[in-house]
């Protein structure tokens, strides 16, 4: 199992595993939603942004983008920009397409798009391509100290 799944088990956080065939080379969240037959608004992608040395994690629906302006506002940083994939991999310990917001090498400030709160369960990466994990957004805020803020730009 991946560090992400091990963390959920260790903390006894209820979760459900979703496995799928991953043939995508980009837009992994949309691919996962399609493969699993779930709405893109319920399948979230994990992005890593930074301002100088300060890195933050943004979790947004795979149906949209992350508003860097709103992310900066939510994190109290002056401005943020997306981290280069290789840097994000080094920082989190996961490969792009399988970057989980759970059990990263270093615990980073994590912001979940507040649209997640409309669901009892959302899917995030389980730590490798082809593995998503369903969790209750409320558990993530309570047990993992994520914050919810309007950081998603929705393109419905």
Strand, coil or helix: what is 48? strand
CB 96 within 8 A of CB 89: yes
**So what's the pLDDT on residue 156?**
45
Q: What is the pTM of this model?
A: 0.94
Per-residue model confidence as pLDDT tens digits over 58-100: 999 998 899 999 999 999 999 999 999 999 999 999 999 899 9
CA distance 88 to 136: 25
Per-residue model confidence as pLDDT tens digits over 104-117: 999 999 999 999 99
CB 112 within 8 A of CB 143: no
End-to-end distance of the chain based on CA atoms, in angstroms? 34
Element (H, E) at 152: strand 152-154
Which residues of 3-146 form beta strands (DSSP E)? 16-19, 44-51, 54-61, 64-66, 81-82, 109-113, 122-128, 131-135
49-86 per-residue burial string, b: 16 or more CB within 10 A, e: under 16: bbbeeebbbbbbbbbbebbbebbbbbbebeebeebeee
């Amino acid at each position: 199992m991946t560090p992400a799944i091990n963390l959920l088990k260790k903390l006894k956080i209820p979760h459900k595993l979703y496995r799928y065939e991953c043939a995508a080379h980009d837009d992994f969240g949309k691919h996962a939603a399609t493969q699993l037959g779930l709405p893109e608004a319920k399948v979230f992608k994990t992005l890593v942004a930074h301002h100088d040395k300060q890195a933050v994690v943004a979790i947004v629906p795979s149906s949209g983008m992350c508003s860097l302006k709103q992310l900066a506002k939510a994190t109290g940083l002056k401005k943020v920009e997306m981290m280069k994939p290789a840097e994000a991999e080094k920082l989190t310990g996961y490969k792009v397409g399988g970057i989980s917001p759970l059990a990263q090498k270093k615990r980073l400030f994590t912001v979940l798009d507040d649209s997640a709160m409309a669901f009892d369960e959302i899917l995030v990466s389980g730590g490798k391509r082809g593995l998503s994990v369903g969790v209750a957004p409320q558990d993530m805020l309570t047990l993992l100290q994520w914050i919810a803020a309007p950081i998603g730009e929705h393109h419905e």
